[in-house]
Amino acid sequence: MKAIGTFGTSAYQIQALQLFRGADSLRLAPLLKDCPIIQLEQGDVVTDAQRARMYVVLRGALSVAADTRTGMSDGTISKVLPGESVGEQAVLDEEANQASITALEQSELLVLEAELAWQLIDAANGVARNLLRLLSFRIRAANAMMRKRQKLGEFYRQMSMVDGLTNLYNRAWLNDFLPQLVASAQATGQPLSLIMLDIDHFKKFNDSHGHLQGDHALRTAAQVLTGALRPTDFAVRYGGEEMMVVLPDTNVQVAEAVAGRLCQRMRDAVVFSDMRLPLPHITSSFGVAALADGQDDIALIASADAALYRAKEAGRNRVMVG
């Protein structure tokens, strides 16, 4: 990085630079004439970029990595081309420039100290207008990037809460949301019910028909659940062949009726495309529990689980209430 002269003695034109486009060149020329021009070789880093100053690219190209000094860099790197500048914000808020600036090829830069930048703004309001345009463009770009990241983050968050095989919510979702639903029901006094279900003799099913058919049976059972529930209910794959339905605002009588309907729909569900195989292709056992006063999510699950165990003990393919 070396100083190679001043703007006044160079062949560069004021109007060719985005920052000065449309501004009164005659007023700007005397202010710009003594501004230094520095030359960078490819890979050179602007070492004094921490000061509140602007660099206008006259030739070459820069790579600018945002906010490296604070360690908050989000990996955003932008390319700055001839006519464009970097450091406007540092100049406007008189803060140190926190970007790391590297030359992508041999480049020449015009250096504008903060004080001079303000003199340029005072001398020609075209400079202020261009700066505003530039900043508004940068803000829009940053907002768009943030929205994109948020969406992506939300997408991955949701993916991590959904079971890949059945598309039902998974255990991570349950761990996050059931305590919240329980706390809200306890606070408002609204009922909350839980149905736990387990496909019957699923080991035998897998052994007889193979694991792939077993997976297909799990997907079919999940579809039975999602197809039969209200939009306000949640279906969860609790683990293996065990599933759960969370029914906010639902008392135990209604939950028992819902479980009865699900039990019937499991018997009616078609797993095998071979029409010669008589129904039921699968059956499930159900345990129902409603949230009791002072109960937490773990106690509620235990209570539904105990009812499910009794349904299995009593011969399967049925509903028991805890």
Cβ contact 167:222 at 8 Å: yes
Q: By CB under 6 A, tell whether 241 contacts ligand GTP.
A: yes
Nearer to ligand GTP among residue 126 and residue 214 (C-beta):
214
Query: Judged by CB, which is closer to ligand GTP: 38, or 221?
Result: 221
Stretch that binds ligand GTP, among 123-131, 206-214, 223-231, 249-257 (CB under 6 A): 206-214
| Pairing of the two strands 107-113 and 36-40 | antiparallel
Strands in 41-167 per DSSP E: 53-59, 62-65, 77-80, 85-86, 100-103, 107-113
Instruction: Answer yes or no whether residue 7 interacts with ligand GTP by CB under 6 A.
Output: no
Quote the tokens at residue 70.
């604070």
How would you label 265-294 residue by residue, b for 16+ Cβ within 10 Å and e otherwise?
A: bbeebebeeeeeeeebbbbbbbbbbbbeee
User: Which member of 241, 242, 256, 313 is catalytic?
Assistant: 241
Q: Closest CB to ligand GTP among 204 and 276?
A: 204
CB-closest chain residue to ligand GTP: 214
Is 88 one of the catalytic residues? no
Determine if 287 is a binding residue for ligand GTP (CB under 6 A).
no
50 counts as binding ligand GTP under rule CB under 6 A: no
Kindly provide the residue ranges of all beta strands, DSSP E only, lying in the chain, ordered along the sequence.
2-6, 36-40, 53-59, 62-65, 77-80, 85-86, 100-103, 107-113, 192-199, 234-239, 242-248, 284-290, 319-321
Of 206, 223, 226, 251, the one binding ligand GTP (CB under 6 A) is 206
CA quadruple 21, 23, 29, 32: dihedral, nearest 10: -70
Tell me how far, at minimum, the Cβ of 163 lies from ligand GTP, in Å. Answer: 9
Q: Which is nearer to ligand GTP, 177 or 309 (CB)?
A: 309
62 is a site residue for ligand GTP (CB under 6 A)? no
| 248 or 280: CB nearest ligand GTP | 280
Structure tokens at 26: 């005659």
Report if residue 219 touches ligand GTP, rule: CB under 6 A. no
305 part of the interface to ligand GTP, by CB under 6 A: no
Q: Which helix (H) or strand (E) holds 306?
A: helix 297-313
The CA distance from 169 to 171, in Å, is 7
Q: Is position 200 an interface residue for ligand GTP (rule: CB under 6 A)?
A: yes
Contacting residues toward ligand GTP, per CB under 6 A: 165, 198-204, 206, 211, 214-215, 218, 240-241, 312, 316
Return the active site residues.
241
